[in-house]
Amino acid sequence: MKRVFNLLVVDESGSMEIIRKQALVGINETLETIRKMQKAHSELEQRVTLITFDSTHRNMFYDNVPADNVRKLSMRDYRPCGGTPLYDAIGMGIAKINAQAAEGDNVLVTIVTDGEENCSEEYSLRMIKNLIEKLKKQGWTFTFIGTDNLDVEAIAADMGIDNHLSFKEDEEGTKKMFACENRSRARYCACVAKGEAMPNGDFFDK
């Protein structure tokens, strides 16, 4: 059976407070999409790893859990505060999956943030870019989603990520972004099920 590792790395820094409710709804919709993909493509085993992070903590809600065992997060689970150690959170997630995935597995990494890196201690931009470039050659798919106050394309490019999406940091913008993410995720799973590759840099169905 083919395996799909879904790694979600979601910013929980203080500035996310303004879209806290909609971000939480979006995270839960994404988890639901992964569960639906498990039902739609029974030949694919969907695994979930979810990390939320700020400068005070990194929460690993799910660590390589089967999609059917994933539950919704509540407001208690997602409380934005602190700074944005983006590289550390990405590095931690990649290291986790890298230890679990085998050759031939499919890995989809989704990074959601509304701020730029500002306080990582373990990983630098260069380390992250090197890791991402290496893993893309092994067939991993990376997507970077950021708010429209950031230069999302440039930040993604600096990390070696081809697929990027920017969104307006309000309820409506966040809702649209997660809808697009979930449509694209469903398309990705359909491609994996058929053994087809999605074109590079064409993950998000504009």
**pLDDT given at position 205:** 72
Tell whether 112 is covered by a domain.
no
Contact partners, residue 193, CB within 8 Å, separation at least 6: 2, 41, 43, 44
Token readout for 22 is 């909609």
Examine residue 63 and state whether it is found in any structural domain, yes or no: yes
The encoded tokens of residue 65 equal 């859990």
**Which DSSP string do the residues of the chain spell out, in sequence order?**
-EEEEEEEEEE-SGGGGGGHHHHHHHHHHHHHHHHHHHHH-TTEEEEEEEEEE-SS-EEEEEEEEEGGG-----GGG----S---HHHHHHHHHHHHHHH--TT-EEEEEEEESS-----SS--HHHHHHHHHHHHHTT-EEEEEEETTS-HHHHHHHHT--EEEEE-SSHHHHHHHHHHHHHHHHHHHHHHHHT-PPPTT--S--
Task: Establish if 78 belongs to a structural domain.
Answer: yes
Q: Does residue 199 surpass a pLDDT of 90?
A: no
Residue 76 dihedral angles phi and psi, to the nearest 5°: -65, -30
> Is residue 158 one of the residues assigned to a domain?
yes
pLDDT of residue 206: 60
Q: Is residue 104 part of a domain?
A: no
Q: What is the predicted pLDDT for the residue at 201? A: 78
Q: Do 171 and 20 contact (CB within 8 A), yes or no?
A: no
pLDDT, tens digit, 9 for 90 and up, residues 2-57: 999 999 999 999 999 999 999 999 999 999 999 999 999 999 999 999 999 999 99
The percent of residues above 70 in pLDDT, for the chain, comes to: 100
- 108 assigned to some structural domain: no
φ, ψ (nearest 5 deg) of residue 55: -75, -10
Distance in angstroms (rounded) separating the CA atoms of residues 177 and 186: 14
- Domain with 176 in it: 2-6+14-96+133-194
Whether residue 33 lies inside any domain: the answer is yes
Does residue 123 form part of some domain?
Answer: no
State how far the Cα of 198 lies from the Cα of 190, in Å rounded to an integer.
Answer: 10
Each residue of 120-155: b (16+ CB within 10 Å) or e? Answer: beebeeeebbebbeebeeeebbbbbbbbeebebeeb
In the chain, the number of structural domains is 1
Its pTM stands at 0.97
Q: For 76-132, what is each residue's pLDDT tens digit?
A: 999 999 999 999 999 999 999 999 999 999 999 999 999 999 999 999 999 999 999
